[in-house]
Structure 1
Amino acid sequence: MSKRIHAVVGTLLLLGAAACADLTVPNENEPNTGRVLASPADVEQLIINSYLSYHNATIGFTSGYDPGINAQMSAASFEHTPMAANFGMIERSALPRLPIGNTTADAFRGQYEATWYGSYRAIKAANDGLTAISGGLVINNAADTRRAEAFAKFVRGLAHGTLALVYDQAFIVDENTPDPTVRPLTAGDLAPYSEVMTAALRYLDEAIAVSQANTFTIPTTWINGVQLTNQDLVRLANSYKARYRAEVARTREERQAVNWQQVIADVDAGRQTDLMIEMDDVNWQHVIHVYHSFYGAWNQVNPMILGMADQSGRYQTWIGTPLGERTAFLMVTPDMRFPQGSTAAAQQANPGLYIRHKGNAGHVRPDRGTWRWSLYRDTRFQDFYDAGWAGPLPVLTRAEMQLLKAEGLLRTGDAAGAATIINQTRVGNGGLAPVTQGSNPDCVPKLPSGACGDLLEALKWEKRLETWATRMGSWFFDSRGWGDLVQGTAVHYPVPAKELLVLRAPLYTFGGVGQPGAAGPSTYNFGL
């Protein structure tokens, strides 16, 4: 068998383009749609596998032990701080910020490509399954067929939502997209992120409609360890809609303009418990935790944001110190999620609920910036690390959803309602005094200026601590909409150079102070 191979093709025929030089060679790795869709069981398995493709494109291993852009986004938003120069973490967190190296020669091009092609791999699998079903294929019975249809539409929505969050533009591809062998996609078919997100929400609504009209149960093998009834799938789709509506914003202005009443409605109609996937370190992996568990040069708690827990004044002194002279410092805070005590010894003896004092481990490569050094690391997921990266991990939490609702309430004038939600984790997990619109008794967070954070800052504090390392972009997407990214940070990724070359479109990039697609002045400045 011979296939026409484009640079863009590997597993995704729908992104094939005739506008590049073709080479006719045997290609046994390229899926044969006719063979894959030969039986109802094959179609069902294809749809089942679509979710794992989405999972790997976002929080799993994209190829071997490659984390895609997950680690880059974490470092860029100060969710963690690395000293190791792997996966573009140093480049994306460099100060001052650098442009993304969007060329086929860039050392980290694989990270930029992984989420792009992984998302389309999920979309293709879902679309091929939906095409077969719309053509009359029955999987066992009517209920199982509708189950597969709903799940495929759900995954298609998730994958398009991911593309809209990450890239400035992308292709919108469904079972109605023209056959690429007849009408190949071109650069003119790329849609801006706002339109891609609109499509993602529409696909999730389609999944909801099918689920509401039918009765079925999705077994634990489809999303590892998670059993979903048709109504559970409705609720989960609504939760993702809430997340996507808020996080697609690239600026403060776009975040403010979000339809917050709809976000609140989506949260209320959504999942009310954590979505916990059973990781096995074989097929189901959570890459950020694998590398975070290495500690030292791989993962330290970045003081740029979490230093705002400190009440000793050392954080403000650190912020006021020239960047090249900053180094690790001891934080003292009443937040029980942090280690307690006013000395290193006391803190080592009293780890916090989420964070512990680690000492000077990992204080290496000062040439990469001693401002990256920290005395702290996470402890929240220690049991998972000790179990060999196996066990249940949250990828969407009740806390995330409730704090999205709190932001909606705050932005629509209900500060008291927002405070009630904020205080659920602030008091329950942090052991802090409740906040109100005009009062922050424990002064957590204490901003770089030394001022106590207002209610919005308290909300952001809770959101960051409660969603830390749960999924790709857990801090990045919020930080860009809040205006908290360091000035010059690329607010989204360009279409990968590999794809642009296939399309014969000009290469372009984002990031760098004052350059296109870069964040403006940060809320906090960070003394930079």
Structure 2
Amino acid sequence: MRNFKKILFSTLGLILLITSCQEFETDLEVENLENPNDAILASDPVALEATAGNILNSWYMTVHSTSGPGAALQTMADVSTCSWGNFGMRDLSSEPRVAFNNTTGYSNNVTSSYFNSLYSLLTDSNTLVTAVEGGTEFSEPEMILMMGKMGQALSVGYLALVFDRVWLYDADGPIGDNETGETDYATAMSYALDRLDEAISIAEGNTFILPETWLPGVNASSSTIAEILNSFGARMLVCNVRNSSEKTNINWDRVLAYTNDGITADFNITMDDITWYDLIPKTYLVYPGWGKVDMRIVNLLDPNMPSYWANDLTNLPEATSADARLETDYEYTSSNSFSPDRGLYHFSNYRYSRLDDYITEWTIPVTELSKSELDMYKAEALLNKNDLSGAASVINAGTRTTRGNLPDVEENTTEIFDAIFYERMIEFAYTGMGLSFFEMRKEDLLQEGTLLHFPVPGTSLDAIPEEYYTYGGTSGEPGKDYSTGGWR
């Protein structure tokens, strides 16, 4: 490798430099048996199996952490509302929208830990793949290889969903046309989906069961994992676009194939409140006194309610809705604990109560990817393939009717489109990280000035070094880096 190649691998703000061994030599070579080198660790099957067992937990705890973008994405999407300054919620959802503070001095850890952790996950995943392909002996090598490919897919995929650019690398160094491995979010997602397809192929072609601690409460056989991975494929493929014009780049045949081979029931993981727990969105965006349901969502449930808490409002009565989920999933609140001086537009008369069992018991199964979410990807794929009958059938057999008790949608493009959007806002906005934001972004509905993706964290820019930049407000390219106008 050439010594000027750099991979942006950030660990506590540092840069991993890949340099040529020929250009760094030492006359003193002493084997330290008490501190084995990377080559030894990378060939130790016991250590590597422990790494494989941590892949899914590492990804899950990263995307559902308070040290990440999840809370800000939820409030920027006007699905949840909160005036508290924690987790970047107030700064990024205040109106009018302003540029994201990407300096190293910013007090909220919105992107740095997320960025670092996913690159760490990518490195661990690369190590697993290299070990299996290099002949390290495992009792179930195909299971380890699948975990490595899955980790590559999830780490790169979730970097692409959130950031403007990604650095691709494997154990041999940078990947791609750029000597540093730097690439755009679309190319990065293509790479992630290719690795995901490889993981799916391994799972479908072999028989194994993941240890319970690797994915608690799932009974994760290889066939079950294949279904889960197909479902993630649909999610990542649909959610990665930055505006409505990019929807033409989505391969709807591929989305449909993923959904046809995806989950047949909700993908739930059992929390233990020690190593598995969900802080965002399932705790801080639903716990009393924290996040509430944005009035935009209340208005979807009851069009007689305002979609925005105007300055002349003092209180609002209970909503009424034809959708049964208003009663089962939402709770009326007669007061607000938010600071009025931070903007009355943060106020709401509802909180999300469907997760009350979780925030009471803490050690129960919670949904990461629902069957309804997969259904909506399938319906959207069918809609874009002009199969209105098929799309309507999927919607009418799903949670719109089974939980909402709403009437069937007709075989009409507008009705189907609206029904898909509605389910995404009402049924599963509190499962996977950022789902509502990705949907609002895809449909050009984020408020004017809302960033469409995050810049590389300022700590990493300093370490490269690279000039400071950011997005949001009027910073960046209109319509590609920040929204030029949305739902209001």
TM-score past 0.5 threshold = yes
Residues 55 and 125 of structure 2 are in contact (CA less than 8 Å); yes or no, is this contact kept in structure 1?
Answer: yes
Pick closer, same or farther for the CA change 1:327–1:169 going to 2, 3 Å.
Answer: farther
Matched residue, 1:433: 407
Matched residue, 1:221: 213
Matched residue, 1:411: 384
Residues 58 and 121 of structure 2 are in contact (CA less than 8 Å); yes or no, is this contact kept in structure 1?
Answer: yes
Matched residue, 2:323: 335
Letter in 2 for 1:495: V
Alpha-carbon distance, 1:57 to partner = 1.6
Q: Distance in 2 between matches of 1:206 and 1:290?
A: 34
Letter in 1 for 2:332: H
Residue correspondences, number: 460
1:78 maps to 2:78? yes
Residues 277 and 392 of structure 1 are in contact (CA less than 8 Å); yes or no, is this contact kept in structure 2?
Answer: yes
Alpha-carbon distance, 1:212 to partner = 3.0
Q: Distance in 1 between matches of 2:138 and 2:120?
A: 22
Letter in 1 for 2:76: A
Residue aligned with 1:111, SS: coil
1:494 maps to 2:455? yes
Q: Distance in 2 between matches of 1:43 and 1:8?
A: 20
Alpha-carbon distance, 1:421 to partner = 2.0
Pick closer, same or farther for the CA change 1:11–1:128 going to 2, 3 Å.
Answer: farther
Pick closer, same or farther for the CA change 1:38–1:409 going to 2, 3 Å.
Answer: closer
Write out aligned runs for 1:369-518 (5 A).
Answer: 369-387=343-361, 389-423=362-396, 424-438=398-412, 454-513=415-474, 515-516=476-477, 517-518=481-482
Alpha-carbon distance, 1:9 to partner = 5.0
Pick closer, same or farther for the CA change 1:235–1:438 going to 2, 3 Å.
Answer: closer
Matched residue, 2:42: 37
Pick closer, same or farther for the CA change 1:170–1:460 going to 2, 3 Å.
Answer: same
1:355 maps to 2:330? yes
Residues 327 and 370 of structure 1 are in contact (CA less than 8 Å); yes or no, is this contact kept in structure 2?
Answer: no
Q: Distance in 2 between matches of 1:12 and 1:370?
A: 37
Pick closer, same or farther for the CA change 1:107–1:514 going to 2, 3 Å.
Answer: closer
Letter in 1 for 2:152: R
Matched residue, 1:521: 485
Deviation digits for residues 382-410 of structure 1, max 9, x if unmatched?
Answer: 111110x2210010111000011111111
Residue aligned with 1:87, SS: helix
Matched residue, 2:104: 104
Letter in 1 for 2:385: T
Matched residue, 2:4: none
Alpha-carbon distance, 1:293 to partner = 4.3
Letter in 1 for 2:118: S
Pick closer, same or farther for the CA change 1:381–1:261 going to 2, 3 Å.
Answer: same
Matched residue, 1:135: 134
Matched residue, 2:165: 169
Residues 50 and 123 of structure 1 are in contact (CA less than 8 Å); yes or no, is this contact kept in structure 2?
Answer: no
Alpha-carbon distance, 1:161 to partner = 0.6
Pick closer, same or farther for the CA change 1:407–1:326 going to 2, 3 Å.
Answer: farther
Matched residue, 1:341: none
Residues 133 and 149 of structure 1 are in contact (CA less than 8 Å); yes or no, is this contact kept in structure 2?
Answer: yes
Q: Distance in 2 between matches of 1:394 and 1:311?
A: 28
Matched residue, 1:205: 197
Deviation digits for residues 159-205 of structure 1, max 9, x if unmatched?
Answer: 111011010101112233269xxxxx999431100110011011111
Q: Distance in 1 between matches of 2:239 and 2:77?
A: 14
Q: RMSD over aligned Cα, in angstroms?
A: 2.6
Residue aligned with 1:191, SS: strand
Matched residue, 2:58: 53
Normalised by the length of structure 2, the TM-score is: 0.88
Pick closer, same or farther for the CA change 1:227–1:207 going to 2, 3 Å.
Answer: same
**Which structure 1 segments of 5+ residues have no match?**
1-5, 19-29, 180-184, 339-351, 440-452
Deviation digits for residues 357-381 of structure 1, max 9, x if unmatched?
Answer: 1221x33300111121111111111
Residue aligned with 2:241, SS: coil
Pick closer, same or farther for the CA change 1:256–1:186 going to 2, 3 Å.
Answer: closer
Residues 99 and 475 of structure 2 are in contact (CA less than 8 Å); yes or no, is this contact kept in structure 1?
Answer: no
Residues 166 and 183 of structure 2 are in contact (CA less than 8 Å); yes or no, is this contact kept in structure 1?
Answer: yes
Pick closer, same or farther for the CA change 1:459–1:213 going to 2, 3 Å.
Answer: closer
Matched residue, 1:25: none
Q: Distance in 2 between matches of 1:203 and 1:230?
A: 16
Q: Distance in 2 between matches of 1:128 and 1:515?
A: 36
1:243 maps to 2:230? no
Q: Distance in 1 between matches of 2:12 and 2:138?
A: 24
Q: Distance in 2 between matches of 1:12 and 1:102?
A: 13
Residues 50 and 155 of structure 1 are in contact (CA less than 8 Å); yes or no, is this contact kept in structure 2?
Answer: yes
Write out aligned runs for 1:16-31 (5 A).
Answer: 16=17
Q: Distance in 1 between matches of 2:217 and 2:297?
A: 34
Alpha-carbon distance, 1:496 to partner = 0.7
Matched residue, 1:10: 11
Alpha-carbon distance, 1:327 to partner = 5.3
Letter in 2 for 1:394: T
Q: Distance in 1 between matches of 2:164 and 2:117?
A: 17
Pick closer, same or farther for the CA change 1:9–1:420 going to 2, 3 Å.
Answer: closer
Pick closer, same or farther for the CA change 1:511–1:430 going to 2, 3 Å.
Answer: same
Q: Distance in 1 between matches of 2:37 and 2:94?
A: 43
1:157 maps to 2:184? no
Pick closer, same or farther for the CA change 1:7–1:188 going to 2, 3 Å.
Answer: closer
Letter in 1 for 2:366: L
Q: Distance in 2 between matches of 1:290 and 1:106?
A: 24
Residue aligned with 2:374, SS: helix
Matched residue, 2:30: none
Residue aligned with 2:268, SS: strand
